[in-house]
Structure 1
């Protein structure tokens, strides 16, 4: 695959999920991402996150977020470590961290210090709440953001308890925004010769994901509430539906899709029913609509429906994680890759990069051992 970011060097003081997720996206595209880890403190904490370990200082969790990167062992609080780090800054395009908001300045990872070493350096900061407010020193995690930003009371059944998303979506969204900010900063520096600080936060990202319900509330005072079956707040049917063997997700987002659904599901009579003739009517009569749609879709299994609709009607089976990953469609799209790993002779199966360049996905390598590439940058024999 063409390596779009070949020649870009990124120093990253990163750990756990959000920051490493963002820099791994850049590594997928060919950037040289160098993890700056302190061996005396065990390096990136995700190296020991269980339950599945791959030996000392390595785990399935760590491999998920640091494939294709390099690792150097540096104590940023020591004079020797600082000197090596600063020397690498000279040849780098960006310095990245996902530390608590009050830490980058203390460690000298911001533009106010590093611009004298490299005027074009982009200093990218991912934190929970930012670096310039009353919460700068607060630790923060994905689930906390889902709670405070309204996600948990926008998810689930109306009378049920608050529900978080089963995956760390705020971490991943923020990591993706970090990657975007890094690339924008580097592009600007290449044009102007001057770098900058760029910041993204978990909290800002979570709040930004409120999207149109936020605009509705801020301008109309409308509070979007949970509807049964996770139904869309203004479009129907766009919700969970019952099938012969479980659940499906039906999304008739336009009148065209509603008409096609009625025809393909043998529900032509519903188009003439005044309760369901228009989207506002369908939404007003959502309970009745749910009953009749369930009755139609309960005649076939979820898989039979996806084959029957064949992409003409937006529909998906509701799968658990094993069935989602065993889906034969993943073979067609090459979304599973096997990475060589010394502790697994058969290779480590992981999800492939989401990118394609000229039709090809990146071929990645395992995440590095702690300090594996230190000698490459100190030019000392290992």
Structure 2
């Protein structure tokens, strides 16, 4: 499959670090692109020391190994003249450049879009910032939790009486990385047709705001922020029963359905005291009745009743339970990835299937500067040309 991947032959220079930019590079590498990380000497990508749950794989964090698998690494000191020539030669051969530094950092080293375009007239230059490249917030730290906080996202999860609740993962980083990859793919298609370069700009704030388009659209329409339900909040915009409820032995998630159908399925006549037209006004009262009723029996008892009436409901699983399910096993979502020390670890594969085939890649994340010599040999003639012109 590797030789048939759609981005085979595309070279990406990744000046990105931490999560957002590298997550875009990861997906493009899964699609067959050659992704070369350009890292600072000695320390490299700061994500090498960003450990999740204090888990390491040799000297680098497990997180770094996860999000940078299937890439190459070259170190370069951008203050060093020879290293700048090395980077210029790489840019001449590259198709795409990505970075997620604060506004002005790449320009400081002569690597802004306008400068790079002089070296490679058809380059696709893609960047992620925290809050955009202009405006009063442009130099604030673009960290995922901070973006969740300032974007209003923390008021979508949890119940009404709860304090603001962040997502339990770096949703802004991953959304921005996904949007950057989408922009790059669109630009590659246009360049294939027109030879035109492109400047792709994404910010974590804009990605998180786009993630909330349903809620923000209602806010723009009436000026009222949707409130989380007091009980079993699933989505601030949706009426009961939408949410997660405790049963006698676990939890159950119930999606959208009319109250009369639900009452019949669950033998819960109490909720028929409320008309369907009042579900938003009486949301919390209805959910309280449901919560009390569902707590009286085990999950499988309720699922059997709900599924008999074709109501959308499912058991809430933890990862251990999920992993034991045949449906999960059939997805083949796990893959082994190599480590520099000869070991391996399990992570998720690319979620996209192409021509009926899953995209697996066991290729390890690179050691810092691992590919410098190989890459310099490949572009040695280009470096000599640049020197002769200079």
Q: TM-score, normalised by structure 1?
A: 0.88
Picking from 220, 234, 237, the partner of 2:238 is: 234
- Per the TM alignment, residue 140 of structure 1 is displaced from its structure 2 partner at its CA by 1.7
Equivalent residue number for residue 7 of structure 2: 5
Moved more, 327-336 or 369-378: 327-336
Equivalent residue number for residue 373 of structure 2: 375
CA contact (8 A) 1:52 1:59 kept: yes
- Per the TM alignment, residue 36 of structure 1 is displaced from its structure 2 partner at its CA by 0.6
Picking from 103, 117, 121, the partner of 1:101 is: 103
* Inter-CA distance 110–366: structure 2 relative to 1 (3 Å threshold): same
What is the correspondence of 1:51-70 to structure 2 with a 5 Å cutoff? 51-56=54-59, 58-70=60-72
Equivalent residue number for residue 381 of structure 2: none
* Inter-CA distance 376–344: structure 2 relative to 1 (3 Å threshold): closer
Q: Give unpaired runs (5+ residues) of structure 1.
A: none
Picking from 110, 113, 117, the partner of 1:111 is: 113
CA contact (8 A) 1:145 1:202 kept: yes
- Structure 1 Cα separation of the partners of residues 350 and 261 of structure 2: 34
- Per the TM alignment, residue 148 of structure 1 is displaced from its structure 2 partner at its CA by 0.8
Picking from 124, 127, 148, the partner of 2:126 is: 124
CA contact (8 A) 1:24 1:65 kept: yes
* Inter-CA distance 376–326: structure 2 relative to 1 (3 Å threshold): farther
Equivalent residue number for residue 355 of structure 1: 352
What is the correspondence of 1:168-247 to structure 2 with a 5 Å cutoff? 168-228=170-230, 229-232=232-235, 233-247=237-251
CA contact (8 A) 2:13 2:96 kept: yes
CA contact (8 A) 1:124 1:182 kept: yes
Q: Give unpaired runs (5+ residues) of structure 2.
A: 379-390
Equivalent residue number for residue 317 of structure 2: 319
1:284 partner SS: coil
- Per the TM alignment, residue 230 of structure 1 is displaced from its structure 2 partner at its CA by 1.4
* Inter-CA distance 309–82: structure 2 relative to 1 (3 Å threshold): farther
- Per the TM alignment, residue 335 of structure 1 is displaced from its structure 2 partner at its CA by 1.0
* Inter-CA distance 249–109: structure 2 relative to 1 (3 Å threshold): farther
1:200 partner SS: strand
* Number of residue pairs the alignment of both structures matches: 370
- Per the TM alignment, residue 88 of structure 1 is displaced from its structure 2 partner at its CA by 1.3
- Structure 2 Cα separation of the partners of residues 6 and 305 of structure 1: 50
CA contact (8 A) 1:237 1:282 kept: no
* Inter-CA distance 107–187: structure 2 relative to 1 (3 Å threshold): farther
Moved more, 355-364 or 336-345: 336-345
Residues 265-307 of structure 1: CA distance to partner in whole angstroms, max 9, x if unpaired? 455x579x3514x2x3233332342244335534554456557
Picking from 270, 277, 282, the partner of 2:279 is: 282
* Inter-CA distance 333–261: structure 2 relative to 1 (3 Å threshold): farther
Give the alignment's Cα RMSD to 1 decimal.
2.5
Equivalent residue number for residue 156 of structure 2: 154
CA contact (8 A) 1:36 1:71 kept: yes
- Structure 1 Cα separation of the partners of residues 38 and 5 of structure 2: 23
CA contact (8 A) 2:229 2:284 kept: no
- Structure 1 Cα separation of the partners of residues 300 and 348 of structure 2: 23
CA contact (8 A) 1:129 1:201 kept: yes
Q: TM-score, normalised by structure 2?
A: 0.86
Moved more, 7-16 or 327-336: 327-336
Equivalent residue number for residue 328 of structure 2: 330
- Structure 2 Cα separation of the partners of residues 157 and 144 of structure 1: 21
Moved more, 149-158 or 281-290: 281-290
